[in-house]
A and B are shown apart, each in its own frame.
Chain A
Amino acid sequence: MNIPPLLPQGAELTHPPTRAKVYISLLLAFSLTLLPWMEQIRWLVPDFTLMLLLYWNIRAPRLAGIGMAFSLGLLTDVARGVLFGLNALAYCAATFIVLLVQRRLEGFDTPRQTLQLSPILLGKEALVLTLGLMMGRADADWRWLAAGLTAALLWPALAWLVDRITQQEPASRQTPL
């Protein structure tokens, strides 16, 4: 059984996640979604903002949270030109689910984390499309569901990268042997 240590260990003690790290990385992820992606692969581009948001909700739930999800969602809504609150609602829901099972996700290694997160990442795209349909948009392009799949596939790479950059130990090694 995974029992988290009473005090932070190793790298988490010397390089704890700070507010600056969280905000800067989220800002970078958001700008990544603003890049001029090619029209042909646009529907494949994962929602980097959501991935980073979930990452921080797993690693440092005290620094992220539903409020942050809400404001990032509103930003995404404006950037994408969709209805106000569409992505905000989806982000809030995803964050809520992740926070509910945060203890379990924190203890898992990256492959298992990916398995647990993929329904959430896919579900977010499905929720956005379904909500759009409910709000009277007649015609949804279901190809956009693929973005959730790409996000799930890219999760290990993203987690590894952000771990390296912010100098945190990967989740599985935080638990004592």
Chain B
Amino acid sequence: MNEGTLIEQLKRGDEDAFKTIVDTWQNMVYNTAIGIVQNEEDAEDITQEVFVQVYQSVSSFKGDSKFSTWLYRIAVTKSLDHKRRKKRKKRHAFVKSLFGEEREVVYHPPDFNHPGVVLDKKEDAAMLFHFINKLPENQRIAFTLNKIEGLSYQEVSEVMKTTLSSVESLMHRAKNNLRKNLEDHYKGIG
């Protein structure tokens, strides 16, 4: 069954079409989410939210981009929204702690280990993810989509609705920032 037919069936509320779409694209959505939020539980939650939104708003998909591009955009948006919500909660908990309302224990998660990283590179990858998390938002998205999802710069530009040269610039700056942070870190422990 081709993509166009699947989407038309989904617009009519066909459950089998929806299941096929979920089965086909769940790994892509989950991997994108986990690359941005760096937490398996949160990525699972976001993946569900993405497909719920796909089901509810498929009628707004006009076909002017690829379906996968549309999915990536929803996944990236939901992942960033999730990160912002978590940051707000952290800030709120911090302010509460200033006033002595320390009921909630602030949980500092250990370094993130992406399940798909080659075994002998896990330690280095965990360090890299730590600094990816500190990149400015657009650089983080571009780097994640290119390095973790394997999208070309052209594909990244379509997802981010920007130009190819902007993506090249974002990647250049992201790598420079990561290099600098890693150098400072290794100099510090060396």
Do A and B truly interact? no
- Residues on A lying within 8 angstroms of B by beta carbon are none
